[in-house]
Amino acid sequence: MAGGMEAVKRIICIGHSALDHIFRVESFPRGPSKVRALEHVETGGGMAANAAATIARLGGKAELWSRVGDDDAGAKVRAGLRALGVDVRSLQSFEEGRTSTSAIIVDNAGERLIVGSRDINMPSGTSWLPLERIRDADAVLGDVRWLEAVRVAFTRARREGVPTVLDGDLGAREAMPELLAITDYAIFSQPALEDFLPQGTIEEKLQRVLEFGPRHAGVTLGAKGYQWLDRQAGTGYQPGFAVDVVDTTGAGDAFHGAFTLALVEGKPIPECARFACAVAAMKCTRLGSRAGLPTRAQVEGFLAAQG
């Protein structure tokens, strides 16, 4: 505390950053065809990068540890994050790497088809990461696109007593048990939870996740909201908020960023879930993963109007 004001919370986000090309169409074609785009935007993407952008937009301090190529797309990714106030000093550009890009087709219902390209030869080493900065962070949030970095950062965070939040998405089923053992808050997408644990009800799957080590297990359910099981707060469910959906791209990333920020601000789990669901819903009202990201005042106004 200084001058009666609470210190701004600082969160390190680790993982994927990309450049997205998003095209809005009337509807998906039934087969191979030519389709006219009603709208097109080029914007930054990637799970960790979008979460960092969300945190910064909401007034937190976000630091991104990620990798891009030393190319035009990488320069655009860096510039877009810097413009939002994200600390990009540890967004590393690799001359031998190629920045991840995605073509995202969005229909009038807000549903999307994503065609992504990632450089599988991007250097995965972590020796350059400033792990000593973790001790001064309020939380570390990681996705599953750069497993080597998440492992070393979460291990260091555990040693320093800094809470960790895992964005559990598809593509890391085999590594998941090891990650969960060093994770405090495991938040899955519904497809990823079903891929990791195919059998049982959602609550049974969340209970199984807790058995791997986290204190909190949750799953985002798209428009239906968020369900969780927490060692202290018990089980809970937050319904989603009804909005006019334009594009769902990045909604899960926004949820993770908002949830983590609310968590380190000391909000109880039900309030974290409500806040994050609101941010994710508001994000969906604009095309692209970041154009709809709200400010703190906009979220508070939205929630007040919900009653």
Q: Which domain holds residue 85?
A: 10-30+37-306
Which CATH number does the domain housing residue 131 bear?
3.40.1190.20
Percent over 90 (pLDDT), the chain: 92
Q: Which residues pair with 67 in a beta bridge?
A: 92
Q: Would residue 5 count as lying in a domain?
A: no
Mind giving me the DSSP string for 60-114? -EEEEEEEEESSHHHHHHHHHHHHTT-B-TTEEEETT---EEEEEEE-TTS-EEE
CA 177 centroid distance within chain: 20
Q: Would residue 196 count as lying in a domain?
A: yes
Q: Please determine, for residue 3, whether its predicted confidence score (pLDDT) is greater than 80.
A: no
Question: Domain count of the chain?
Answer: 1
Is pLDDT larger for residue 67 or for residue 307? 67
The pLDDT tens digits for 47-94 are: 999 999 999 999 999 999 999 999 999 999 999 999 999 999 999 999
Measure the CA–CA gap between 166 and 150, rounded to whole angstroms: 9
pLDDT band with cut points at 50, 70 and 90 for residue 229: very high
Mind giving me the DSSP string for 174-185? TTHHHHHTT-SE
Could you give the C-alpha distances from 62 to 84, 109, 132, in angstroms and in order? 10, 31, 16
CA torsion angle for 291, 301, 222, 253 (degrees, to 10)? 50
* Token pair recorded at residue 96: 């031998």
The pLDDT tens digits for 183-218 are: 999 999 999 999 999 999 999 999 999 999 999 999
Mind giving me the DSSP string for 194-236? HHH--SS-HHHHHHHHHHTS-SEEEEE-GGG-EEEEETTTEEE
* Token pair recorded at residue 256: 């993770």
Q: Would residue 1 count as lying in a domain?
A: no
Q: Would residue 52 count as lying in a domain?
A: yes
Q: Would residue 4 count as lying in a domain?
A: no
Measure the CA–CA gap between 20 and 103, rounded to whole angstroms: 6
Contact 17, 76 (CB under 8 A): no
